[in-house]
Copies of this chain bind each other. A is one copy, B any other.
Amino acid sequence: MNLYEALARDISESILQGVLGPGDRLPSVRQTCANRNVSPSTVFQAYYMLEAQGLIQSRERSGYFVAVTGNGGAASLLPPEPDTASRPDEAAAPLAVSERVFEVLESSMKRDVVPFGSAFPSPLLFPLARLARMMRSSVQELDPWASVDDLTPGNARLRRQLALRYLIDGLHVPVEDIIVTNGALEALNLCLSAVTRPGDAVLIEAPSFYASLQAIERQGLQAIAVPTHPREGMDLAAAERALERHRPKACWLMTNFQNPLGSTMSDQKKQQLVQLLTRYQVPLIEDDVYGELYFGGKRPSPAKAFDTEGLVMHCSSFSKCLAPGYRVGWVAAGRYARQVARHKLTSTLTTCAPAQAALALYLETGGYDRHLRLLRHKLADQQAGFIEALGRHFPAGTRVTRPKGGYFLWVELPEQVEALTVHRVALAHGISVAPGPIFAPQADFGNCLRLNYGHEWDARAEAALATLGQIVRSLAAPPGHA
């Protein structure tokens, strides 16, 4: 146990033993530093962790307080975590999920809807003014020939910055392996088409990001859903059975803060996964778009860190952590780099040159890590508020994950509550949710919701969550009690 974990444990014991009561102010960061002889960042890490657990809350400009719940009770009233892995049908099957997903997504895309169902965090979380300055400088100095020279693989300076960031995280990724794309979504799609042909099978998690299901469907592939635990990710024994039985051509998953579960694989498990796939020579399409949004002390490794044969295609982007709307993502594609670049060349050619140059300049001039620290703090804060409110407004039998990063919660409602009904009724009240069935080939997870806490946690959000709780309660009540 390191310093910040020890500090967090001590504080949480004080709260559980009643030494610190609901609403009590915690010692200031400065005091705690002095008392325990630790650095401010250690104290912040401990506080973030406690916030993420719903035990404490920060109030703008006034410090940290022990969480207060609606019933006056403390953290013991927070909803429990879900703790069982999914049990999908493990057969390989072509998909017919896309239409269902579109219906849900298209109905939710309005600015005046409370965006609990949104896939995007609030655009107000990002340093848009500083990005605009970078765009202004870089567009002025843009080499006219950049549009011809950089072409498919992307801006050389940006790719160098990306390689540097990998290096800082301990990964050696050659610049030549990096291809800049129109967001991570294009990277993922290019990887999939680079390593599969129609009819091939692909391993995925259950539940999994709906865009992976849609890509698999569009490309005429078969999906094999593997049991997945809401905290620990894919079940590797089940994955091995599926590899043996179906001989898939790719595995597509999210190792960190998985969408929708929020699960994160341990380093050990990531290494085992890569070893397993290497044994079967199956490429891994690793979606790691939330990896920078961790609440703990350090960035969780990507599976790519354990890749010795270039089998892992690590996809990420700036859309969720820096520059939404710029549509700049990338893939470190290992041995598939040439194939991926060729698919890009014939489908979208290259990525917007001014946007790439602006991001290169932003990374070169520093400040990204400072922005990320603030962003993580903010998201951890919002998660704590959200979970605490879920405890107050949702009925008993509700379970909620405690992701250690990202901006999604996975909520298991009492079994009789149909998430698609919740979606429909909530939308009539101007609230969107992402119902479980859009994350599964066979429309499983019928009583689950993915909720987005990446938007301002304010009175409107609180009221919307109260309304949502009412809706769920009414659907959960036995007939005659509604």
Contact = CB atoms under 8 A, between A and B. Distances in A.
A208 B219 CA distance: 25
A459 interface: no
A218 interface: yes
Contacts of A326: 352-354
Nearest to A136: B136
A174 to B, nearest CB: 18
Interface in A371-410: none
A364 interface: no
Contacts of A189: 346-348
User: Looking at A186, A342, A346, A353, which has the most chain B CB atoms within 10 Å of its CB?
Assistant: A346
Interface stretch (A63-71, A145-153, A256-264): A145-153
17 contacts: A102-B342, A118-B148, A120-B147, A123-B147, A124-B144, A148-B324, A182-B182, A185-B348, A185-B349, A186-B349, A189-B346, A215-B346, A218-B347, A325-B350, A325-B353, A327-B348, A355-B355
Given A128-B144, A144-B123, A145-B123, A327 B353 contact: yes
A211 B346 contact: yes
Nearest to A137: B136
Contacts of A218: 193, 343, 346-347
A346 B136 contact: no
B183 A348 contact: yes
A123 B148 contact: yes
Contacts of A146: 325
A140 B98 CA distance: 37
Interface in A320-346: 324-328, 342-343, 345-346
Interface string A102-133: 10010001010000001010011010100110
A139 interface: yes
Contacts of A186: 347-349
A426 to B, nearest CB: 19
Interface in A187-211: 189, 193, 197-198, 211
A90 to B, nearest CB: 25
Given A136-B140, A182-B349, 14 more contacts: A98-B346, A123-B145, A128-B144, A131-B139, A142-B325, A182-B348, A182-B351, A189-B347, A214-B346, A215-B346, A327-B349, A327-B351, A327-B352, A351-B352
Contacts of A120: 147-148
User: Looking at A109, A211, A325, A343, which has the most chain B CB atoms within 10 Å of its CB?
Assistant: A325
Tell me the dominant secondary structure on chain A's binding face.
helix
Interface string A21-53: 000000000000000000000000000000000
A307 B418 CA distance: 46
A434 interface: no
A368 to B, nearest CB: 18
A342 B354 CA distance: 26
Contacts of A352: 182, 325-328, 351-352, 355
Nearest to A151: B109
A179 interface: no
A198 B200 CA distance: 14
A162 interface: no
Closest CB pairs A-B (n = 4): A147-B325, A325-B353, A352-B352, A123-B144
Contacts of A82: none
A157 to B, nearest CB: 14
Given A123-B144, A135-B135, A327 B347 contact: no
A80 interface: no
A315 to B, nearest CB: 13
A328 to B, nearest CB: 8
B148 A139 contact: no
Contacts of A310: none
A220 interface: yes
A185 B146 CA distance: 19
Given A182-B182, A347-B215, A348-B348, A354 B147 contact: no
A354 to B, nearest CB: 6
A324 B135 contact: no
